[in-house]
Structure 1
């Protein structure tokens, strides 16, 4: 993780996304957030020296690929990996904002659908929610997640969008958690992911451009992240 603030856009002591990462020169954050985007951008971060851990307590082997860790409880089973982590964030948002009916809607795409409100039976504690999250993610896959998404142009990218790639063997997704643009409308963004096995959701560095890392340039073509290669055409938005 980058700790040298003299040459970095990263403030190691800050524990909010929008405070931890400066924008490069000539770029400013776009304040026109959706409710989901605003929630994402205000998520708390763990202390700077906190490592990414898998569900079974193992430290992620390549610490140089991330620059921050979201301060969210991780399920104690191997369920929050790859694209599933995007659903973790989506459900967490609906839980935190008490939009329980929206979680019920998401349950319809599950391979074993049980509405959240039926599952918890009036117990809206976080402990019960985590039990439901595990159940939901156990019965979610890339095919069901794809049903919730629609393609969006890279020119229209916004916080909360995801780059989603569904394969026959492996699938992956990363989420846009911050966004900025210059006076000409050129956009840059920051990404978060989980990988395999299930692990803490973390903020990615940019392996292709140290000068603006962790920001990525929004452009047509290939998007190279530390552990996956996406295309701009993989950009999706929740319906």
Structure 2
């Protein structure tokens, strides 16, 4: 009897360890962002520094602070982190699927931008380009919106200078955004503006803290779209609002 119980206990413990290992294996990056910025993170535009509150990005000499991670995002993923805008800051932008444009000789990148903007009080998706200094004849990188201006969704939100908890979920061509556990915006990439693969990055206009970054690759059984998502974002196109 004791040997049977021991075998059952061993089997249960083994299964538990396998489940824990499987769960941990899906985390492809985790960092509380409260230590020095690792060398494999590229500071494309200063100023970026590490503080006890988190990594701080600040506009420098009129140029937006831009930070590129080493994280290669998979096809389906979940990103969570927290951001805090300092007073009078304008923008924190999340760069999703940052990838080199194959026609630019490595001098231009394409990505989907998710912009948390204080001026317009919006969270918006934008089809973005990142230009290297040599491409533009400048001394700094430049992030710009050129194509599909006003054709991607945006949501009007309350901008906070407190910590904001982000959750970004990409399932195939669908991207969902939560802020402080509240459903905010959904974008279905019908225009094919999101590169298939690419890196994660951040852009700051003003001064912003970042902390508690985690990126998970989603297993096939987790790839289930929300049955109902309270999407607050709409499309603004030639003066008409078209709901996504």
For normalisation by structure 2, the TM-score amounts to 0.29
* Structure with the largest fraction of helix: 1
Q: Which has the higher contact order (CA 8 A, sep 6+)?
A: 2
* Structure with the largest fraction of strand: 2
Q: Which has the larger radius of gyration?
A: 2
